[in-house]
Amino acid sequence: MAEYICVLNKDSIIIKPAKKTPILLRMIVLLFAMVCGVFICSVCLKQISTNSKIKIQDIQVIERPSPDVDHENFQISSVHYPNPETFTRAECVHNPVRYFAILSMQRSGSGWFETLLNSHVNVSSNGEIFSVLNRRINISSITQTLDKVYNLDWFTSASKNECSAAVGFKWMLNQFLLWENRVDKEIVADTELLGPKVHVFYQLLYPGVMKHHTEIADYFNHRGVSVIFLFRRNLLRRMVSVLANSYDRHAKLLNGTHKSHVHSTEEAETLAKYKPMINSTLLISDLKEAEITATKALEYFNSTRHIVLYYEDLIKNPTKLKDVQAFLGLPVMDLTSRQVKIHKGSLSDHVMNWEDINKTLNGTAYESFLQSDY
């Protein structure tokens, strides 16, 4: 074995010469040393490169533009400063804007709720923009439409343009509610009107929010869109309203014009004269279906910043509207609507086969729907 022994002795260093070893052994040692060297070098290089990667990432994180960092934090990300392509925000350019989407079901008070919101000088709620098939035909057209709305480049009678502090629209969840489709066909058969056209109409009503929920929830989180769920507690009253509205689409009780919402008591009374018949065999499963849709929507959009509202609470408790304004970061105002409720008072006055319905729901989880006023 080759041994190099260093001995420190007073001032001098004596190096004992190594024993004579065969040349082969020396070569092996040399080779071993070289391999070790290469190995150590490569390890060092690796460490240096990972270190530098981390450093680059650190810098990137620090220097990343704020919108990307923002969506980790809802407080910051729910505030925006859009740059419309079609106009300048003028005096309001430094006012923040919130993005929202109202997720609701037909006949749950969302039309009324939108008129209330739009009575605020800084709110633009643009209605059911996805009722147009082309805008929701695939996820890229949905995204394009959303981009345009949130960039303030979408114009409806509700747009406040420069001074919008909250901008959004409403989106209906219930594209898969079977009974509405079925019931509509039954009514059409009854009135012998408009057969195929109704189907087309329903196709137009069915938006893709539940179908594309993953992508849309991602979009909402990424762009900092706040969700306002608006549901109706009394699903039986909702059902009566759907049936009556569906009937009026064909019967056109107000001087030959179909109206989903009215602005006078006379009009409300005229529409309320029609008493729908509810299919009691399917009643429970139909109510359940509406319930499941609402639950699913809550699940799908649970990760977004959201608030859950009920139509009945908005009617009974005016402070709820203040909660909504606070949720949207708005200066609080009194909100008003000219809309008049169509089906007032006891539900028993508005259903043809009330006894049957009373019996069907008696003793079930939905029994309370029989009594409540709204």
Ligand X SMILES: *[C@@H]1O[C@H](CO)[C@@H](O)[C@H](O)[C@H]1NC(C)=O
* Residue ranges binding ligand X (CB under 6 A): 92, 95, 121-122, 137-138, 140-141, 163, 165, 254-255, 279, 281-282, 298-299, 302, 331, 348, 358-359, 362-363, 370-371
Nearer to ligand X, 46 or 206 (CB): 206
Q: What is the DSSP letter of 10?
A: T
Q: Measured between alpha carbons, how far is 292 from 298 in angstroms, rounded to an integer?
A: 10
Shortest spacing between CB 302 and ligand X, in angstroms:
4
Q: Name which of 58 and 373 has its Cβ closer to ligand X.
A: 373
Using CA atoms, how far apart are residues 163 and 330, in angstroms rounded to an integer?
12
* Pair 164, 93: CB distance under 8 Å: no
Q: In angstroms, give the least distance from the CB of 55 to ligand X.
A: 35
Cα dist. 17→5, 23, 168, 195 in Å?
Answer: 8, 16, 89, 110
Q: Contact at 8 Å (CB) between 71 and 221?
A: yes
Angle at 88 between CA 84 and CA 94, to 5 degrees: 95
Comparison of 198 and 278: residue with beta carbon closer to ligand X: 278
Residue 127 near residue 169 (C-beta atoms within 8 A):
yes
Cα three-residue angle 20-26-27, rounded to 5 degrees:
150
Q: How far is the C-alpha of 145 from the C-alpha of 126, rounded, in Å?
A: 12
Closest separation in Å from C-beta 179 to ligand X: 9
> Residues 138, 296, 165, CA angle at the centre, nearest 5°?
65
| Cβ nearer to ligand X, comparing 65 with 331 | 331
CB nearer to ligand X: pick between 47 and 83: 83
Pick 59 or 132: Cβ nearer ligand X: 132
Task: Give least dist CB 110 to ligand X, A.
Answer: 20
Q: State in angstroms the smallest separation of the CB of 34 from ligand X.
A: 57
Residues 287, 239 contacting (CB under 8 angstroms): yes
Q: How near is the Cβ of 62 to ligand X at its closest, in Å?
A: 30
Nearer to ligand X, 71 or 258 (CB): 258
Q: How far is the CB of 64 from ligand X (least distance, A)?
A: 27
Q: Which residue is nearest to ligand X (CB)?
A: 163
